[in-house]
Homo-oligomer: A and B are copies of this chain.
Amino acid sequence: MSQATHPRDGSLEEAPPCRNTKRRLLDAAERLFAERGFEGTSLRALTQAAGTSISAAHYHFGSKEELLRATLERRVAPMNASRLERLDAAERAAAGAPLSVETLVGAYLDPLFEERATHRGSLSDVRFVAARLYSDPPELVSALKRELFGEVSRRFLDALARALPECSRDELGLRFQFGVGCMVHVMSGQIEDAPHAQGRDPLPDDVVHHALVRFLSAGLRAPAGDPR
């Protein structure tokens, strides 16, 4: 009805059949998984939002879990590739010298905010990545998290260790995770939903972005505690 479900007109057609359906399914999955979670989203609501049928979803992905995996992978993989590109470029430019904390934080955060800026209001939803990877069925997501983030975490931790040589490896691992927590929180849209600042209009993305870079850089550079 709303989406021209049947090309019954006879004369002029629409976009190619396969790729379009698959992409529309991923788009709808992204949005609905972000808003209602994996268990909270029914395949019926999802396929209806995508303007197709349940069978199409099973044809292209095989199961609901595989659809989640594909949806996550589509956004996370290019974003992490971009992170590694920036890290590589920065290390090449530094010619062996340790990178600054701000450079590392920027290389990690910028691809995320760019993705967010590019797709604001469209179907693509970065909230989804943040919200779901860290709250949905752990037995499905934690393996994917290891697979998608393993190299990125290792590379950035190594670079951080060179930037902050006085910080122990354990402490650095913790601080890196603290930073990830901040990022996830922001990307999940919790800033707009905070108990304070409920009535006022949300701050622009770049303000949040720069505030987050400052916060994380300072936190990562915090003086070491008693070594115990």
User: Interface residues, chain A, CB within 8 Å of chain B?
Assistant: 35-40, 131, 134-138, 142, 145-146, 149-150, 152-154, 157, 170-171, 173-186, 188, 190-191, 193-198, 203, 207-208, 210-212, 214-225, 228
Contact = CB atoms under 8 A, between A and B. Distances in A.
A198 to B, nearest CB: 6
Contact of A177 (B146, B185, B198): B185
Contact of A134 (B150, B152, B188): B188
A195 B149 contact: yes
A216 to B, nearest CB: 7
B218 A174 contact: no
Tell which of A203, A215, A221 has the most Cβ of chain B within 10 Å: A215
- Copy total for this chain: 2
A194 B153 contact: yes
9 contacts: A37-B37, A146-B198, A173-B196, A174-B207, A178-B185, A178-B186, A180-B194, A214-B222, A219-B219
Contacts of A175: 211, 215
A217 B211 contact: no
Contacts of A203: 170, 174
Contact of A40 (B137, B154, B197, B208): B137
A30 B124 CA distance: 33
Given A134-B135, A185-B185, A210-B225, 16 more contacts: A37-B39, A174-B203, A175-B215, A177-B194, A178-B215, A178-B216, A179-B182, A181-B182, A181-B186, A184-B185, A207-B228, A215-B222, A216-B219, A217-B222, A218-B221, A219-B219
